[in-house]
Structure 1
Amino acid sequence: MFRNIVIGISGGVDSAISALLLKQRGYNVLGVFMKNWDEFDELGACSGEQDYRDAEYTCQKLGIELRVVNYVKDYWNSVFSSFLDDYQNGLTPNPDILCNKYIKFDLFYKYAREQLKCDAIATGHYAKTSFGNFLEQYNANDGVHLLIPCDKFKDQTFFLSGIQRHALSRTMFPLGDSLKSDVKALAIKCGLARLARKKESTGICFVGNRDFKEFIKEYIHPRPGHFVDIDTGQIVGTHNGIHEWTIGQRCRLASCLRPYFVAQKDVASNTIYVASGHEHPALLNDVICASAPNWLCDDPLNVVGEAANASVTRELRCRFRFQHTKPLVDCVVKKCANNKARVTITLDKPLRALTPGQYAVFYSETVCLGSARIISAWRGERDVAQLAELHVKTELLEHS
């Protein structure tokens, strides 16, 4: 059914082999390189330039045309500005999820479908859809689902959980049934050994190899505040801004013999509450309040006739993770009683360092169901009044 495919060529081995597999199946393939960032690193070299040269190399080897689209301004407005705002407000964002949501599966998708008139797009993500890796079972009347790929270690469905379902229905993931080791072997076999040996990018793309605290100083001014022991209310150190720290991170405080870890951040008072010990109870939570979910399936919490019967509730029993490398945990998702646009997630067991700003991603056994942004997290049995008392103690210390 589909013949003309536009694939995002990043300059890496995964998108290159995805393009090769599409060609081998007889598709008309056009490559597009997305320029999202133009910052030069401390050595005066832009990593994006090397990626572009590798994308050119790939397309020359495969005999496909390569075009370039510039999304630098869009990336800054939709991804990077939000990234900075979140850090200043004490949150820890996930720019990879935002990039897929706003750039690759929105702007790029629309460009490919509307201007290049393609039948579908393709990417080098390790994921699958219920229509098949090459949409060979496509039926416009069937709802598409995002599936866990063959390579569980490389599974990237976590980062795709925020995209729109309509874009997913016209997206191919050629590597869905491939292992990373097989992808590299195929690259060597077909003359793309240079890409197989290329070091994979990890971490936040625009930070690169730089120290995060040094990087963030270029955009957010220091705002000194106190580290406060969450158990005693005593000041145990100072920091240069809540934007430099995330929940669960170790604080190496020179004056303290015990290892402290970030447990909470209070934006209003610019205070970071720290807990002594890696598994301190203050670091473990099992209840989450999250934003309205982006479902990649029919809304499982939608109840027909709900408006007529406010007492009707529905809950979803599924699996949860908030970091893509962590094991899945069983949970129950239901709409918040006081705000139907939000959801409450109750985990079967507490998890360490649940972080506001990150994403709760939901799964069944083989399907990524969607995601919701974490607003807050707490322990079901925690004494909230006691925590509020600690905040008061801290304010008294700061004004003494």
Structure 2
Amino acid sequence: MKKEKVLLGMSGGIDSSMSAWYLQNMGYEVIGITFNTISNSLTDHTPQFIAEAQTLAAQLNIEHHVLDVYNQFKKEVIDYFVDEYLKGRTPNPCIRCNETIKWKLLLEESQRLQCTKISTGHYVNITEKEGFYHIQKGKDPSKDQSYFLWNLPQSILSRCIFPLGSFLKSEVKDKAAKLGFQSIVKKRESMGVCFLQGQDYRSYINDMRPELKNKLKNGEVWNSTGNKIGTHDGFPYYTIGQKRGINLQADHGEYVAKIDAANNRLITAPKNTLFTKHLMIHTYLTSNPSFLQGPQQVDLRIRGLDAVPPTPGTIELIDKELHIHFSNPVWALTPGQSIVFYQDNIVVGGGIVDNMEFNAGNESL
């Protein structure tokens, strides 16, 4: 009997490598693929993560492909990342990559290689609800990556399988050790934005746009009443809610409240004024297109990698604008970041924060 084929995105790390093993044991024929997003020349040398993915594929006796997508990645993700900061926004490159590079190409390559399923090493599950597929939080709350997958369309979700969603990370590491995969067990886990390679994003922007450093330094800092209270090193190096790194004439207890990119100016305000109770967004997606036919009670997650729990709230579509109401005010919402909507730990949709105003002070701070 011919096995069903699944295309697995492989990064050379423990999660995608162990996904290959689990998928094999679930009865699938696994084909691995690794995207080169880091090196602008594969002819000179093979990046370490690609070599590690090739080694693991050989150990598991699975077919493996390398796809050079550096130019596409630079255009769609790296340039977007830099340009968003230069607009005074805070981007999420992982979510952008999922939409424009990673999952788009996984779907295209799965069709080319005649695979019926697509897989990655994310610690999430896939579930069907009312005829539509949704991302669901996995077993391990410390590895929950559902926030970053809100913008996947049904054409992709309908093909997804996530073998690690029912495991804790510690269980996956223990299994890898028992199988003798010591190299991936001992490998340091990568965190943060992949293309930064551990570099601070500010110095990365300087490297990408070296002509801006002198042009942007000594920008003005104004408070919310219109008085100049200090200077800054360049508006792209700050985000909403930041206090450190602002050169104030005195300790005013001020935080960045707005970034005026056109004038290279930061607008600051007291911490207790940086709260939001409601906003409207124009860029959004729901897994079920009819989900927004009326107001919906949801849990709202505004950041993907912190321990802050989701905030209950309501979303309602009014004249093509999605109105979001938080039951409790949230602090330091930032233009460019994503808000993800959950019901019972299932991702029902998400959207991107547009320009907004803080509208809910908190006198207790």
Partner of 2:261: 267
* The one of 151, 162, 170 aligned to 1:162: 151
Partner of 1:347: 326
Secondary structure in structure 1 of the residue aligned to 2:241: coil
Letter in 2 for 1:283: L
Determine the structure 1 residue equivalent to 2:163: 174
Normalising by structure 1, we get a TM-score of: 0.82
| Contact in 2 for aligned 1:105/1:164 (Cα 8 Å) | no
Q: Which residue of 2 aligns with 1:129?
A: 126
Larger radius of gyration: 1
Which residue in the other structure is 1:216 paired with?
205
State the Cα distance separating 1:77 from its structure 2 match: 1.8
Cα 1:369/1:2, change in 2 over 3 Å: farther
Task: Provide the secondary structure at the position in 2 that maps to 1:19.
Answer: helix
Match of 2:64 among 63, 66, 70: 66
Report how far residue 2 of structure 1 moved. Answer: 6.9
* CA shift for structure 1 position 247: 0.6
Is the contact between residue 275 and residue 359 of structure 2 (CA under 8 Å) also seen in structure 1? no
* Shift in Å, 1:207: 1.2
- 3-state secondary structure, aligned to 1:144: strand
Counterpart check, 1:192 vs 2:146: no
Select between 54-63 and 120-129 the one with higher mean Cα deviation: 54-63
- Which whole-Å deviations, capped at 9, do the CAs of 1:333-365 have from their partners, x for residues lacking one? 1224xxx33312111111111010001110012
Q: How does 1:215-364 map to 2 (within 5 A)?
A: 215-220=204-209, 221-222=212-213, 223-224=216-217, 225-230=219-224, 232-252=225-245, 253=247, 255-276=249-270, 280-302=271-293, 314-324=294-304, 325=306, 326-336=308-318, 340-364=319-343
1:251, CA displacement in angstroms?
Answer: 2.9
1:205-248, Cα deviation, whole Å (9 max, x unpaired): 11122222211112231324211122x43222222322111111
- Report the secondary structure of 2:309's partner residue: coil
Change (3 A) 1:90 1:242: same
* TM-superposed deviation, 1:10: 0.6
Aligned counterparts of 2:22 and 2:189: Cα–Cα separation in 1: 21
- Residue 2 to residue 151, structure 1, CA distance change in 2 (3 Å): farther
Equivalent position of 1:16 in the other structure? 17
Work out which of the residue numbers 86, 89, 98 in structure 2 matches 1:88. 86
AA aligned opposite 1:77 = K
Structure 1's consecutive aligned runs of 4 or more residues displaced over 6 angstroms after TM superposition are none
CA contact (8 A) 1:291 1:342 kept: yes
Letter in 1 for 2:116: D
CA distance in 2, matches of 1:193, 1:256: 54
Where do 5+ consecutive residues of structure 1 fail to align?
132-138, 303-313, 383-400
Partners of 1:39 and 1:256 in 2: how far apart? 46
Q: Give the conservation status (yes or no) of the 8 Å contact 2:274–2:358.
A: no
Q: Tell me the secondary structure at the aligned position of residue 216 of structure 1.
A: helix
How far is 1:117 from its partner? 1.0
Query: Within 1, Cα distance between the matches of 2:103 and 2:226?
Result: 46
2:6 corresponds to which letter in structure 1? I
CA distance in 1, matches of 2:229, 2:360: 27
For residues 198 and 255 of structure 1, the distance between their equivalents in structure 2, rounded to whole angstroms, comes to: 46
* 8 Å CA contact 1:286, 1:378 repeated in 2: no
Query: How far 1:191 moved relative to its partner?
Result: 1.5
Matched-pair contact (CA < 8 Å) for 1:22–1:174: yes
Percent sequence identity over matched residues? 30
Contact kept, 8 Å, 1:91 with 1:355, in 2: the verdict is yes
Measured after TM superposition, the shift of residue 315 of structure 1 is 1.4
Please say if residues 89 and 267 of structure 1, whose CA atoms lie closer than 8 Å, have aligned partners that are also in contact. yes
Distance in 1 (CA, whole Å) between partners of 2:259 and 2:280 is 16
Contact residue 222 and residue 266 of structure 2 kept, 8 A: yes
**For residue 182 of structure 1, what is the amino acid of its counterpart?**
E
**Structure 1 contact 251–262 (Cα < 8 Å) conserved:** no
Give the secondary-structure state (helix, strand or coil) at the position aligned to 2:123. Answer: coil
Name stretches of at least 5 consecutive residues in structure 2 with no aligned partner. none
**1:375 counterpart residue number:** 354
Which residue number corresponds to residue 33 of structure 2?
A: 32
Q: Secondary structure at the match of 1:317?
A: strand
Name the amino acid aligned to 2:326. L
- Mapped to 2, the partners of 1:255 and 1:211 lie a distance apart of 26
Query: How far off its partner does 1:112 sit?
Result: 1.5
RMSD of aligned alpha carbons:
2.2
Return the structure number with greater strand share.
2
Distance 1:245 1:380, change over 3 A: closer
Deviation at 1:258, TM superposition (A): 4.4
Q: Is the 8 A contact 1:288 1:376 kept in 2?
A: no
Q: Distance in 2 between matches of 1:255 and 1:79?
A: 37
TM-score, structure 2 length as denominator?
0.90
Distance in 1, matches of 2:356 and 2:3, equals 45
SS of residue paired to 1:372:
strand
Are residues 1:206 and 2:195 paired?
yes
